[in-house]
Amino acid sequence: MFHFVHNSLHWGTKVKESQVLSTIISARRRRVEEMRASVPLDRLRQAAELRSDFRDFATALSGEALSVIAEIKKASPSRGLLRSDFRPREISESYQQAGASAISVLTEEDFFQGAIEDMKAVRGAVGLPVLRKDFILDEYQVYESVAAGADAFLLIVAALEDKDLKHFLRLSERLRVTALVEVHVVEELDRAIGAGAQIIGVNNRNLNNLEVSLDTSFRLREKIPSTCLAVSESGIKTGRDLDSLAKAGYNAVLIGEHLMLSDDPGEELSRLLKSAPTIKMAGA
């Protein structure tokens, strides 16, 4: 049995390893229905369609050298509370100063203790593109993301049927935001490519048992088309990791837990960037 942390029910709820992702998805669907009853879809759709203040997430990751998406999250299913002194605005400002190219913000409430208000606060604090990191399962969440100021949002292939994946990708284009499409195995990568993904994130963390291996990124990189931007996510801790992923052909990396567990996330990001000469520092 896997010791799974779930803050809105009971800290320490036991969940079978194979059920981790499905448990999160079930909780997320319930949340979406609650939100739909509180804020009508039409209101979000109107706000999303009227928005014009976009920052180009894809361009931020398109430099010649490796770019860094620095992540903000308060907790995780595998580690529980990551940071009791949680100040999203201040952390995002320190990331920007350290040289991040974009900021990722966890907004899932039940298992990561996130909030969409955290993303709004970050968007107002920095000038970088902001990614909404969540379990997007319904078009309601797509409109919500755009209306709240996201410049990009995550789509997890393992959590979606092909028809929904394609629909959300088309919707992102219409709303002028970017979708980061996340995969973990070859079959998911094939589905992402078939759906038309332009930015593919390889999650080194298995979402069913939460085990992490950078070998996942190295194994899948050669199968990602050259027309797509490639992002390696999770388990990145050292300058050597950054250099290895850059040499493997990745355009960007997403670093979260390692930074959030450090005494000073911004300072730790700066240290990592300086320890790996292949890294692109935003604004440099």
- Give the residue numbers annotated as catalytic, written as ranges: 71, 73, 133, 182, 203, 233-234
Residues for the chain: how many in total? Answer: 284
DSSP labels for 92-147?
A: HHHHHHHT-SEEEEE--HHHH---HHHHHHHHHH-SS-EEEES---SHHHHHHHHH
First-last CA distance in the chain: 47
Residue 155's φ and ψ, nearest 5 degrees, are -120, 120
Residue 232's φ and ψ, nearest 5 degrees, are -100, 130
Positive or negative: CA dihedral 51, 57, 58, 62: positive
Nearest Cα to 202, choosing from 215, 219, 183?
183
